[in-house]
Every structure is written in structure tokens, then in C-alpha cells.
Amino acid sequence: MTIFDLTLAELRTELDKREFSAVEITKAYLERITATNPGINTFITICNETALAEAESADKLIAAGQASPLTGVPIAAKDIFNTTGLHTTCGSRILENYVSPYDATAISRIKKQNAVIVGKLNMDEFAMGSSNENSAFGPVRNPWNTGCVPGGSSGGSAASVAARQAAAALGTDTGGSIRQPASHCSVVGLKPTYGRVSRYGVVAYASSLDQVGPVTRDVRDCALLLQAIAGYDPSDSTSVDTPVPDYQAVLKGNLDGIRIGLPKEYFIDGLDEDVRKSVEQAVATYRDLGAEIIEVSLPHTAYAVACYYLIATAEASSNLARYDGVRFGLRAERAENLIDMYMQSRAAGFGTEVKRRIMLGTYALSSGYYDAYYLKAQKVRTLIRQDFLEAFDKVDTLLTPVAPTPAFAIGEKVNDPLQMYLSDIYTIPVNLAGTCAMSLPCGFSTTGLPIGMQLIGKPFDEATILHTAHAFEQATEWHRKRADI
């Protein structure tokens, strides 16, 4: 086992035993990033100087016996988090030269524990995509098969952890953007309940759907990183002031009495046979572990994708209006007047998918169409949330596929937006409902591509899905497999 195979928790132990210094670990990771990044394109910014300075500070704290759980460990962040003194591009030309003057709350919280930030990660532009092919900086490639996508929009986050370029990463999830790439890259990814983790300083895509979460090697690391970033933040008006449990403490005990629901609407025609078999095998494992398996119904599932792409695009249309060439970001140089400057700046700065979603959202919000589309979508969203709450009256957690297929080839769906949007059919309902869910490895396809399963929990009950996931992980070996890169 190399230094790159150690989890966050294992690195913490080795650092405390002085087997390695934080500087040694950071140098090793930076060298690995430099060597492997050209093949998979995960990093937009590599923080060589600042990371080594942070590592030196971490070593001093460790020597003084003042280390926190994340002190000295290398973590990367999706390039959607404002980070002081670093470029924050959101994968877009319009923000290519933007340097953030402040830290997002999630960044400041891992900095408070003296984690080492090794870089900013590639992503679909403004988090709009399911394949990480929409980045202005080129597509991210899947470490398990570089001809395939890693999933999106947090493709850089999942791929960097799978490629052992970082011990863990931060991502965001608006419609599956942590869970789907985690599934495609055989890592663990958690979307917390809306309001559990602050969105302050995270560049907005769809404000009522966006949520920050961890991407890690295993469930224990997921609990560790969530512990660091969760909790109330007065700077975020949507942050919920509710107690944060001790997530490490729940990673023990058996599953006797745990009721796991299987939504019948998620196991239908169109689900890839390898995915179906892997998820069914996971269900069998849970039966052996003592969990009770119960079929449930989420009857409004069929409307989730349409509902999401009305609400998300409407909010994107509003949020992205600020990129106008005036205050920050790219500005057209030869505009004849103000309107021409707006048009030229946005035309040159935004990519095709972002433009498509802005236009869809603007149409849905326009006079005469608001009631027919956006308002109706909000009503359907309420029905979808009620489906989940009613299901949770019968079960403790839900188990579903993460994506209908394993990772697909780069370029396979890029010219068919509808097929691309359907890649998130199993993850989108969770964001609409505002509850929590996670992806964890549960198998591989016949062609050797990773497959993940999704555990969905009650609002603010991340503890139960972490406990349930950890039990499965301890009973299987899927999380121990490594991409050969």
C-alpha cells in the first residue's frame, strides 16, 4: 500500500504517529497530480506554493499536539467554491481570470482544521451537465476508462479521488452532481439535506437545489469531511440551525430493525442489466445483514426530470444574469454600446449548454408562461417531496440505482440533450425533495466500469444513511478496488 491509498482517517493516524510529515504527503500528492493530470484533466488550478505553505503550518500544529481531524491532509475543491487568492472559474470562460477575494464557508471550515488545499477541480460549466464535457477547459476523463466520462458536474471531484490525486474532495450537487460521478468513478459521494451545509461563497446555479457535499474513498472519510463542513451559517439565509450529530459515532452496530425501501418506479425498463444486477446483489447483502426490505412507491417520479429542468433553468436564468461584463469576469472589448457589450460578453463567455439553460429558464419565467410552466413545476415539486415523506413513514432509508447506466463514452450523448438529462433520472427527485442521499460502490459492469447504489435518507438524517452505508461497506470489498492510473 502506498501513501496514495491511505484514507483521510488513515492519513490522520500516520501523521499523528509521525510516519510522514504533512509536507512529505503534500509534495507526493502534488507530484502525482502533475504526472497524472494530463491524462484525465481533473485540475484547473494546482496550488503548489500555497499547499506547501499550508502543509508547513499543519506540521507545526501536529508537533504542538494541536491537530484537528483534517490537519495536514490533502483535499481538492470543485472550482465553484470561492477560495481566497485563487482562480474560481466555474469551468467557464466568463470567469477565466476571476480571482476570489474571500472563502466560501465550506472552504473556511476545512481551512479552520488546517487541511491542505492542493487545487481547484474541473467541472461542467456553472455545474450544468451530467458528463463533465461542458467545461471550457476540456472534458474530464474517467480514471477507470479514459474513453468514458466521469459523470458531472462534479466530475473533477470524483475523478481526482478515484485517481488518488487527493485524499478527498468537495463537490456540489444540484440534480445528482456528486452522486452520479461518484457512482461512475467508484468513490463515495454524499448530497446532504438542503440547509445542512452552507452555500455561502458557492457560485449559484439553482439556489433552491444546490447543496455542498463530500467526495471520499470510503464512508468513514465521508462522515469525517461532512462533520467538518456541516452546521448553521448565518451568512447563508437557507442554512438551517439544527444540531449536527457525531457522524463518526454512528458507524457501528448492526442493521437489525433497519427498514430499507425499494421504490418500484426506480426498477423499470431502461435500467441497464449490469446496474440492475449489482443493485439487486446489494439488496441481497442487506438482507443478510439483517435489514428488512420493503417495496414502496414514489408515484410522481415520472415527472421529476421535467419538473427539475423547469425549476433549475429558471433559477439559472436569474442567477447568471449577473455575468454581464460590467462588474467582474470577461468583458467584450469592441462593443459599440452597453447592450452590445452585454450580448458580446455573454455570447463569448458562456458555453452552449449554459446558453441553452438560460434560454429555457427565461422562457419558463416569461409573461404568459410563468403559470403554465414554472408555477406548475413548483406544485409538482411539492408532490414529489410528499412522496418521499410518505415513504419514510414506512422505512428508514431508500435504496435505488444512482444512474440508469454505467459511465458512457465521451461524445456519446453530447448532441442529444434529452438523453443526457435522463442520466440524472434517479438523482434529481432527491434535490427536488430537499432531502439527503449518497452514492457508494456496489459493483462493476461486464466491461469493467464502476456501478454505484444510492441510499436516500429522511431530511437531516444523514446519520442513518452513513450507518447503513458503512455496514454494507464493511461486508463487501468494492470500495477497496483502485483504478489503474
Read off the C-alpha cell for 181: 460521478
How would you write the pLDDT of the chain (485 residues) with one tens digit per residue?
789 999 999 999 999 999 999 999 999 999 999 999 999 999 999 999 999 999 999 999 999 999 999 999 999 999 999 999 999 999 999 999 999 999 999 999 999 999 999 999 999 999 999 999 999 999 999 999 999 999 999 999 999 999 999 999 999 999 999 999 999 999 999 999 999 999 999 999 999 999 999 999 999 999 999 999 999 999 999 999 999 999 999 999 899 999 999 999 999 888 999 999 999 999 999 999 999 999 999 999 999 999 999 999 999 999 999 999 898 889 988 888 999 999 999 999 999 999 999 999 999 999 888 888 999 999 999 999 999 999 999 999 999 999 999 999 999 998 888 889 889 999 999 999 999 999 999 999 999 999 999 999 999 999 999 999 999 999 999 999 999 98
- Indicate the number of domains in the chain: 1
How many CB atoms are closer than 10 A to CB 112?
A: 12
Please confirm, yes or no, whether 208 is among the known catalytic residues. no
Q: Give the CATH number of the domain where residue 157 resides.
A: 3.90.1300.10
Q: Please identify which of the residues 92, 157, 177, 183 carries the catalytic annotation.
A: 177
Please confirm, yes or no, whether 131 is among the known catalytic residues. no
Q: For residue 439, is it within any domain?
A: no
* 395 vs 298: CA distance, rounded Å: 13
Q: For residue 358, is it within any domain?
A: no
What residue has cell string 464512508? 219
Please confirm, yes or no, whether 153 is among the known catalytic residues. yes
Q: For residue 317, is it within any domain?
A: no
Q: For residue 245, is it within any domain?
A: yes
pTM over 0.95: yes
- Domain span at residue 92 reads 3-257
Q: Please identify which of the residues 78, 191, 413, 458 carries the catalytic annotation.
A: 78
Q: For residue 154, is it within any domain?
A: yes
Beta strands at 116-121 and 74-78: parallel, antiparallel or unpaired = parallel
Adjacency order of strands within the sheet including 292-296: 43-46, 116-121, 74-78, 168-172, 212-216, 188-191, 436-444, 450-457, 397-401, 259-263, 292-296
Q: Please identify which of the residues 130, 153, 157, 186 carries the catalytic annotation.
A: 153
Q: For residue 194, is it within any domain?
A: yes
Q: For residue 37, is it within any domain?
A: yes
Q: For residue 291, is it within any domain?
A: no
